[in-house]
Chains A and B, each alone.
Chain A
Amino acid sequence: MRRKIYLLVALIVLGTAIGFAQSNALIDQVLGQKKVGFSYATYLVLSAAGIIKDTATPEQAIEALKQQNWGISVPEEPTDISLGKYAYLLMKAFDIPGGLMYKLIPGPRYAAREIAYLGFVTENPSPYRSLSGEEALQILHNALAWKEGQK
């Protein structure tokens, strides 16, 4: 019986360690991407928002995104994410109110405008450009800090 308990504890610890290592390996991949992938960006935002666990995979993040019914089109093939779509993910995930045009026509264009206005983006605020993994993480960081400040 004791052996079984020890084995169970070992399995839990091992599983946790693997889960830990998995999320950091993903962050390592994101940081290495010059143009962050759609699935990786989705993983970042959804795990930051607590919608998925940080031990999830990017593929699981895509599935979770489809279930949110946010009106964000998911690409069939692996591709980069634009700043606009990343901004839209952030706006939806963190319930950021947005401007008048975002309320009337919610979408990547006005989501990018909003995050630029809020100061999350310090580089070119064009919604059509790609962004690096480093920049995506920094924008997410700024969004989390802003959300914290709203409390």
Chain B
Amino acid sequence: MLKSALLCAGIGVWAMNTLASAQAPARDRVPDLASTTFAWVAVGADWLEPPKGVRGPIRNDPDHPYHGNLDGPGQVTLRIGNYKDPVLKPWASAQMLASNEEALSGKRAVPFAAQARCYPGGVPGQLLFPAEPFYFIQTPKQVWMIWQRDHMVRRVYLTDKHSNNVKPSWFGESIGHYENGDTLVIDTIGLSTKNSYIDNYRTPHTAKLHVVERLKPSADGRTLEALVTVEDPDTFNEPLHMVQRWRKVENPVLETVCAENNFDYFNQNLFPIPEAAKPDF
């Protein structure tokens, strides 16, 4: 018995050497996104412009310029999306107009923003969550994206095919692969539509939404950028391209729980946070 084990070990060492030398170097390199000490903080809650020449994100209604918390002195305004953008199908335009009117009339003093009300941000919306960092875990078969805020988790399976039947969910089904040793490419389908928007202007989508995210750290490793393409022929007349950027920060993961102290104390008719009418089990 001992002999057979030694033989087995011998074969193992031989096989390991052969395999190691046969490995393609490109497959060996992956962008270094995951750490216990650093994390990534978004530069803002709105999509940045994509490279010139491609269709960019939905912006504010020109009649209602947006002035955010970080935009210097002046009255902070609400995000009123450009429902007149010709890229929108009529149903999407009508839905955005209704949401705008709800906000402008004061019926809902603060319009819905997923992460502010403890909902998952969906794909790609979750990428717009600012203020608290997010983390990666990378293993050879999978990538996890973990937002400190309310411990939201996205999983990316490093495989080349989507499942045959994808049950719609908040973060859908994401498959991914690495390119050029420095880019994580994520392809997502199966996104549910209820309370799910591709941006903070409450731009909706249908179940046909298909998102491709290309995440690449800068050469110095200090920033991470995502080029995001969304296709949804039932919502947009052409694909939209959008960019998000994060800064690398030293920040071991903390526990921040959204549902804590997040009630509508000032009667602003805030969107209710998720709540179970009866215990799940």
> Do A and B bind?
no
Interface residue ranges, B against A (CB under 8 Å): none
Interface residue ranges, A against B (CB under 8 Å): none
